Amino acid sequence: MAGLRERKKEQTQRRIAAVALRLFAERGFDAVTVNEIAEAAEVAKVTLFKYFPTKESLVLRGVGQEDLAGIVTARPAGQSPLEALRAHYRAFATEPATVVDRDALITQMRVIFASPALSSGANELLHGQRQALALALAEEHDELTAALMAAQITASVLTLQERFFRLLVSGASPEEAGHDLCGDVELAFDLLEYGINRQGRQ
């Protein structure tokens, strides 16, 4: 019974998010009210806020929630943080179609890119992701080193994600975008691991 209840909650959450994204894509984020979303999703406004505490969270679901800190802390013994993260993004690049709903992702990115408020909100979420990674790295490094490492890693990851998203928006399939991402991942983590000067001499 509990499992059925959780599935129904997840279905309701997904329906609300899908309806909101459609309305935002059609009319713009600022032009759509929470009341309109609740009515279109056939839920009470109070129900909507149980799943999404703010209007922005209707669009920013998933942004900055990739658990980089968790990947680092759960890595096997003997594997460095960079090796663990490289392996994670390698795996994603080889099978992006299994984890990406291309149309929904494209719509989400377009809505975010078109709204200064959402872009700012996304940056705040990414800042939290960086802070969490810095804390994980601080278990093995001093505070400043961990903060600098986290800043470089998250900036590189964000650049990889943006390039992948823009390839999808330009018409590439997840497989095509993933093929390009494979090379991008290796370049990004080579630069992180070996440094810009050494990479430039190769």
Q: Residue 125 pLDDT more than 70?
A: yes
Length, in residues, of the chain: 202
Q: Which residue has the tokens 């872009």?
A: 119
Total count of domains within the chain? 2
Helices (H), 28-142: 34-41, 45-51, 68-73, 81-94, 102-114, 116-137
Per-residue pLDDT, 1? 56
Domain C-terminal end among 31, 54, 77: 54
Q: 175: which 2 tokens? A: 């497989």
Q: Which residue has the tokens 């990414």?
A: 126
Residue 36 belongs to what domain range? 2-54
Say what angle helices 174-194 and 81-94 make with each other, to 10 degrees: 170
Per-residue pLDDT, 185? 96
Going by C-alpha positions, the residue among 158, 156, 132 that lies closest to residue 146 is 132
pTM of the full predicted structure?
A: 0.74
Q: Are residues 42 and 104 in the same domain?
A: no
Degrees to nearest 5, angle at CA 98 with 95 and 99: 100
